[in-house]
Amino acid sequence: HTALVAPISCLPHEVLSEIFLCYNDSFSSFRRPLRLGSVCSRWRTIALSTPRLWTSFVLTII
């Protein structure tokens, strides 16, 4: 058996980072970077190393 590799796995980190930024800009939720980072360890590494994903946050004071 040969393992099937998803085509997205072949994309360079820089390309995925740009895709993440487009995804993050398309929706108005501060949790988008967290969701991207929960897909797999590679995506988490890329999300954490893309500072523009983390330019805003929501602070709730109770």
Judged against a pLDDT cut of 90, whether residue 61 lies above it is answered with: no
Digit-coded pLDDT (tens) for 6-59: 888 899 999 999 998 888 766 666 667 788 888 999 999 999 999 988 887 667
Tell me the pTM. Answer: 0.72
Domain ranges for the chain, please list them: 7-54
Torsional sign, CA 25, 57, 12, 1: negative
